[in-house]
Amino acid sequence: MLLVSNWKAYIESPKEAKELLAVAKKIARAGVHTIVIAPPSAYLGFFTKEQEVSLSLAAQDISETQSGAHTGEITAGLLSGMDVFYTILGHSERRAKGEIDSMVAAKTQQALLHKIIPIVCIGEKVRDENGAYLQGLRAQISAIYEAAPQKDRSKIIFAYEPIWAIGKSSCESITPADLREMILYIRKVIGEMITPTVALKVKILYGGSVSKINAKELTESSGVQGLLIGHASIDPKEMIAISKVVE
Ligand code: 13P
């Protein structure tokens, strides 16, 4: 499984960041999972050349722009030079600050151009009885593929993160049965936009109140290839437990 730790802005001390890195290395050394950590960008420089222990670095976001006169931007080119292998894009917490599909698509293009694998977050705010949320998900996926070169499309990872399930307790997370349905739907949509055979290779992750309590049931038959973990990822005991229960 691909286990991606999104530390968000929870970590504000280098000491804490280093301690969490040590935990991630320990989990990675067990060799069971691919471990990816997404620290706040200011800490990315601490963690270069970690790949030897199947630990990779992700940015939590990147700029839409290329290098140039863009004060404050963190470009894909800069990150690729720092051994950043993945980037989270279109997280709902960024979308809530005004990021729209076309911006996520532009960031995806930048990431691919610099050989950084995009982990694009998609997910509905609420569910309606008429299924409009399914059309919303389709639109989010379509915007990404329209902007991505055909040859790179299968490299894009999607993280299904229903917004209503983020930052809650495990009992308020999605049920395994609902997750399975959603992953089937997302893969079907991907299949229509690339090809059904290539769609089988596309990695889909789940994120939203994952913990040691629900990680096993959310992964065992839902069809996901990994998890995007938020608040549990900054708790060493939780992360070690999640890595043990997930197969
Ligand atoms: P929580 O695990 O805190 O719900 O966060 C999920 C998430 O947003 C990961 O990107």
Tell me how far apart the alpha carbons of residues 181 and 179 are, in angstroms, rounded to a whole number: 5
Q: Give the Å distance between the CA of 229 and the centre of ligand 1.
A: 5
Determine the pLDDT at residue 50: 59
Enzyme catalytic residues: 91, 161
Out of 4, 87, 161, 174, mutate this one to test ligand 1's pocket (max ligand atoms within 8 Å of CB): namely 161
Residue nearest to atom 5 of ligand 1 (CA): 230
Q: Which atom of ligand 1 is nearest to the CA of 209?
A: 4
Determine the pLDDT at residue 46: 82
The model's pTM is 0.97
First-to-last C-alpha distance (Å) of the chain: 7
- Judge residue 151's burial from the number of C-beta atoms within 10 Å of its C-beta, 0-12 exposed, 13-18 middle, 19 or more buried: exposed
Q: Give the Å distance between the CA of 200 and the centre of ligand 1.
A: 25
Out of 2, 93, 170, 210, mutate this one to test ligand 1's pocket (max ligand atoms within 8 Å of CB): namely 210
Per-residue confidence in pLDDT tens, the chain, 247 aa: 999 999 999 999 999 999 999 999 999 999 999 999 999 999 998 886 655 678 999 999 999 999 999 999 999 999 999 989 999 999 999 999 999 999 999 999 999 999 999 999 999 999 999 999 999 999 999 999 999 999 999 999 999 999 999 999 989 999 999 999 999 999 999 999 999 999 999 999 999 999 999 999 999 999 999 999 999 999 999 999 999 999 8
Ligand 1 is surrounded, with C-beta below 6 A, by 6, 91, 161, 166-167, 207-210, 228-232
Q: Give the Å distance between the CA of 209 and the centre of ligand 1.
A: 6
